[in-house]
Amino acid sequence: MIAWVECLPAPNVSCRLSNGTELKFSGSEVGFNKSIPCRNVSGYSYKVAVALSLFLGWLGADRFYLGYPALGLLKFCTVGFCGIGSLVDFMLISMQIVGPSDKSEYIVDYYGARLTRLSITNDTYRRTQTSP
């Protein structure tokens, strides 16, 4: 699914249309629309997950929150794998490698910090490496 977002060019930006006329924007009118793919989110906040991992990760609260009750119980019984597991989980959650168990994405409250996972498919162009 795709959402169309209205984009406002910066003030005093001029664009030349295909028919040759020049259009100058004041910053308050819509200049173009951009298509953005919709994300599958189900209510898990990125900020809450990172805060739980930082402060209560040794109790397994981060894993319980993200929907991994078995790992949460294991972290609770071992005091976060003696602290090492808590540190590793904090890094994995803050880098968005570990996400919610239902394979949805985090809700990020501001635009920008969300990571995009790259994958290699049959359509990926692979460049052969050349030796120097």
Q: In tens digits, what is the pLDDT along the chain, a chain of 132 residues?
A: 888 888 888 888 888 888 989 989 888 888 888 888 888 889 999 999 999 999 999 999 999 999 999 999 999 999 999 999 999 999 999 988 999 999 998 888 776 556 677 777 887 777 777 776
How many separate domains does the chain show? 2
Q: Are residues 31 and 49 in the same domain?
A: no
Give the pLDDT confidence score for residue 44 in this predicted structure: 95
CA dihedral 59, 51, 100, 89 (to 10 degrees): -60
Q: Are residues 58 and 96 in the same domain?
A: yes
Q: Are residues 27 and 53 in the same domain?
A: no
Q: Are residues 56 and 84 in the same domain?
A: yes
Backbone angles phi, psi at 34, to 5 degrees: -125, 135
> Is residue 88 situated within a structural domain?
yes
Kindly report whether the global pTM for this prediction surpasses the value 0.75.
Answer: no
Q: Are residues 68 and 98 in the same domain?
A: yes
Range of the domain at 55: 42-107
Q: Are residues 61 and 82 in the same domain?
A: yes
Q: How many CB atoms lie within 10 A of CB 57?
A: 24
> Is residue 132 situated within a structural domain?
no
Q: Which of 51, 52, 47 is nearest to 72 (CA)?
A: 52
